[in-house]
Amino acid sequence: MRVGVDVGGTFTDLVALGADGTLEVRKVTTTPDDPTVGMFRAVDLLGTREARKDSLTVAGGGTRDSVIDLLVHGTTIATNALLERRGARVVLVTTLGFEDLLWLRRQERASLYDLARDHPPPLVARDHVVGVAERMGPGGALEPLAEREVERVVGAVRALAPEAVTVAFLFAFRHPEHERRVAAALRGALPGIPVTASHEVLPAFREYERISTATVEAYLRPRVSAYLARLEAPVRERRIGGLRIMTSSGGSLAPAAAARRAASLALSGPAGGVVGARLVGAAVGVSDLLAIDMGGTSADASLVTAAEALTEGTGAVAGIPLALPSILIETVSAGGGSVAWVDEGGALKVGPESAGAVPGPACYGRGGDRPTVTDACLVLGWLDAASPLADELRLDPALAERAVASLGSAVGREPHAIAAGIVAVAAATMARALKRVSVARGFDPRQLALLPYGGAGPLFGCALADALGMRTIVLPPHPGVLSALGLAAAAERIEVMASFHRALPALTTRELAAAFAPLVERAREELPGAALARAADCRFAGQGYEVTIPAPLDDPAPLAVAFLATHRARYGHEGGGQPIELVNLRVAAVKSGGGSLPQLDGRAREQRAPRARRTATVGGARVEASVWPLGELAAGVELEGPAILAGGDATALVEPGWRGRVHRSGAILLERR
């Protein structure tokens, strides 16, 4: 079987995908001090609850059974290192005269109307930047690199005692010779210290983004490498067949490759959820989806169009530019554990602070006393206090109401009204994120279906759909562990690229084929036996951004047609006859992990009637909602809002005015009446 494990801020989710496509689900509390503890506790729960064929000895004596062929892990190690500024001490080696590039950034402000807000500082201390007397231009060397200068730089870097080194020179994406010499000298002089060269990480133009990305790689590599090394012994002890790590692009890598591409793990966990959303969409025949993953700490919005996740080549994590291919994900602080508070002006706010796994929301009974979104949902009657969460954790309504009521003196409301305000603020925050990944990129959300997932996402599906004018919602069969499902089903993937600046009309078929050839060869070497997909970044001459277009053929003419159509759909115009230029080439290698994809077959489920009724507050009114067992409903069952769908990994709320039907896959399709 293949197993996906997603370590979130509050819970760690596991989905085991059998050889026949059947699913098993486990959910445990995350262990923040060492996420691997919770991760392997979930793995061991899988082994102890099912009869396995192969017996093996584990650390501490005894035996455990396992037939896990592949474990795919979605990790927040890279994201947390950037958020918490707990990476390596980096020395940046760059072209003399350009030492301040990371501080100068681009001309845009951190916040357009907040003049007091600053960008986060670079990951490098200013006195840890070493300038090198050399200079490359677009045509080659403008100032040669002397051997004596190389020796001086090595001595200067050694004196700073770095934990990692970044070498990033001007025009190294086109002429990397100087970078190679300095990087080789540093690797020889500083054994055991990772040295990152920018042309190896991101061989693309735009100096600031390339140097920033290379610096992120150096900053993360020691921490990521150490974390992945810690996984080796537990994996070996359990005789797990293989381990792969999820990347931001929606594919997975072997640990050794992931350690060399540490920056590509920045959105590891959320990317798994988008893969899972795409699988569910395919199962129900919906190819255009707006997805929202609401977990314990944050909510992640993404877009699937034409059955493929929307990706981007530039972005930022924790305010640090990172120009690596990644699934487009907009993260906001609106998770189940997001803390509600009142600002100095008396306005109700939610987040960005989260109660996390420890102590967690007040209703967990673990010492937390501040109101969170989960507490508000419990006060409103959306959650069942009698149903345990992960690790048999039960919710305490009295603690939730006490925490929510603590805001009463500031806002002058009773607990139910305050709870309704908390969920409304959280929903508005998520709606803005969904608009940024759809409306801001030329996609009309009214033409898409909403797919809410994560432990708390399905509670907000109807409210978010109403806010965006959407009429269709897809509730996955296992919404609370969809990210782990995406991990288990994810293919192995790597992407290589190179800058290639040419006017598209002047480009010949032979020139385009010759430009792609080395990238195709490199992709085949890095991932033998993989299927290859080619793409090109195109733009109108002089534009400051590009559009990525599939390039299956060597003929440039179809590229121009596809670029104009994509640009018109996204930006509303075709450039008015401006010349088109090609700027980057990309080749993605994708290799399936083998085995069956999830069957998502709900026909064996037999529940056809609600199990109870519950009073809940929806839209400010008290209603009697039918309670259905999520995950047990028979195909074809119809339900009408208000309804609560309670499952082992998540709870969904069907608001008045919505009706649903259970699909044969086990998913529930909701439609606005």
DSSP 215-250: HHHHHHHHHHHHHHHHHHHHHHHTT-S-EEEE-TTS
Give Cβ neighbours of residue 324 (< 8 Å, ≥ 6 apart).
202, 213, 248, 249, 263, 264, 266, 313
**Separation between Cα atoms, residue 467 and residue 462, nearest integer Å:** 9
300 touches 330 (CB < 8 A): yes
453 touches 15 (CB < 8 A): no
- State phi, psi for 84 to the nearest 5 degrees: -95, -5
Q: State if pTM tops 0.85.
A: yes
Question: What pLDDT is recorded for position 188?
Answer: 96
Give Cβ neighbours of residue 100 (< 8 Å, ≥ 6 apart).
126
Question: What pLDDT is recorded for position 609?
Answer: 86
Q: In this structure, which amino acid lies at residue 564?
A: L
**Separation between Cα atoms, residue 278 and residue 283, nearest integer Å:** 9
Tokens 């480009």 sit on residue: 507
Query: In what helix (H) or strand (E) does residue 424 lie, and over which residues does it extend?
Result: helix 415-437
Domains of the chain listed by start with CATH number: 2-80+226-268 (3.30.420), 85-224 (3.40.50), 492-591 (3.30.1490)
Question: What pLDDT is recorded for position 53?
Answer: 37
Where the chain has pLDDT below 70, the residues are 21, 47-66, 390-391, 593-604
Residues in the chain: 673
Assigned token pair, 659: 């009706």
- State phi, psi for 440 to the nearest 5 degrees: -65, -15
Eight-state DSSP code of residue 335: -
**Separation between Cα atoms, residue 633 and residue 666, nearest integer Å:** 7
**Separation between Cα atoms, residue 121 and residue 17, nearest integer Å:** 43
Assigned token pair, 61: 């004596």
Instruction: Find the helix packing angle between 268-284 and 482-489, rounded to 10°.
Output: 90
Assigned token pair, 305: 């169009």
Query: In what helix (H) or strand (E) does residue 184 lie, and over which residues does it extend?
Result: helix 177-189
Enumerate the β-bridge partners of residue 447. none
Closest alpha carbon to 257 in 240, 245, 268: 245
136 touches 169 (CB < 8 A): yes
Closest alpha carbon to 649 in 46, 11, 4: 11
Task: To the nearest 10°, report the CA torsion of 491, 494, 500, 504.
Answer: 0
Question: What pLDDT is recorded for position 245?
Answer: 94
SS3 track for 434-483:
HHHHCHHHCCCHHHCEEEEECCCHHHCHHHHHHHHCCCEEEECCCHHHHH
Task: To the nearest 10°, report the CA torsion of 156, 161, 162, 168.
Answer: 0
b vs e for 191-218, b when ≥16 Cβ sit within 10 Å of the residue's Cβ? eebbbbbbbbbbbbebbebbbbbbbbbb
Question: What pLDDT is recorded for position 603?
Answer: 62
